[in-house]
Amino acid sequence: MSKAGWAYTVVLIGLIVTCVIALMCGVTFYTPTQIWQAFSGQRPAILNNILTFRLSRIIASMVGGGVLAVAGALSQSVFRNRLADPTILGVTSAGDLFILLGGFVLPALPFEKLVLALLGGAVALALLTNRRTLSQPYMLIIVGVALNLTFQGFNTLFTQGISVTSDTSLNGITWSSTLMLLLVGCVGLILALILSPWANNLKLSDEQLMTVGIPVKTMRVGLLALVVFLSATVTSVLGTIPFVGIIVPNVARKLVGHDYQTLIPFSLLSGAWLLLICDTVGRLIILPSELPVATLMTVIGGPFLIWLVLKGGLGR
């Protein structure tokens, strides 16, 4: 079996095992026998608890992690920068800010949070993308971090003195939110798989692509629009969860190579596994309370980002 084949096998087995552990563990622990009896109809109370609380959370964390990882991989392709990611570039924090402001001034509307997160992400990318940032990796990251902090600052300013529940924990997520994330996220992921050849084309310089008649601007704008759509989908349901889009694609390149037609599906599975692991650990580490998944991802992602910068691996 090839290296990529082994990598896929390990991730798939790990994902299945972690799903079973996540179903078993929580404030109340269920044995594998009890889980089996619940799904065979012998333990309706346990089944109701699993279906109401644990299963929706497991699905939401897997879909959210997979979507964020794919968004990160596409961002790195467009910007030709291995540190590019919707969270570090301010796309998700802009979405958070627009959701907050929209909640103050707009009535409740269908898909309101998703629409506002899309608008926020588009504004962030419009402010971020110009010829200088696209050609200078360090400038892109510096400007992106500055935008991220600015949007976070405005978010804090507008919530000063107001009790706002954190959305960066999956505790209490409902099936309606999970199904919306699943439906919209799957649409975005299918588009990402279809457009993965565009990401491969962007490995070449703009001059080379234009020479052979490939519409570089169309590809870049299309992939950026997809990045905003993917990140906004997660932000509107789960809030801002950092570093998934940096960690997963960079590790995936070491395991399955640089072909985006292989990298994107592997990032999808690996991102789902990573966020499910972090959410499960967060639920168990300080029982009966829990740590938000965003906090754990920050603890993991911060050192990884420092290592990546010190290694000098910015170019995609």
pLDDT at 165: 46
pLDDT at 166: 46
Give pLDDT tens digits along the chain (316 positions).
788 889 999 999 999 999 999 999 888 899 989 999 888 888 888 888 888 889 999 999 999 999 999 999 999 998 888 888 888 888 898 998 998 888 777 767 777 888 899 999 899 888 887 777 766 667 777 888 888 889 988 888 887 755 444 445 687 788 998 999 999 999 999 999 999 999 998 888 777 877 877 788 888 889 989 999 999 999 989 988 999 999 999 999 999 999 999 999 999 999 999 999 999 999 888 877 888 898 899 999 888 888 887 876 555 5
DSSP state of 81: B
pLDDT at 16: 95
- The DSSP-derived string for 147-191 is HHHHHHHHHHHHHTTS----SSS-TT--HHHHHHHHHHHHHHHHH
pLDDT at 264: 95
Q: Are 72 and 248 in contact (CB under 8 A)?
A: yes
- Cα(165)–Cα(36) distance, integer angstroms: 35
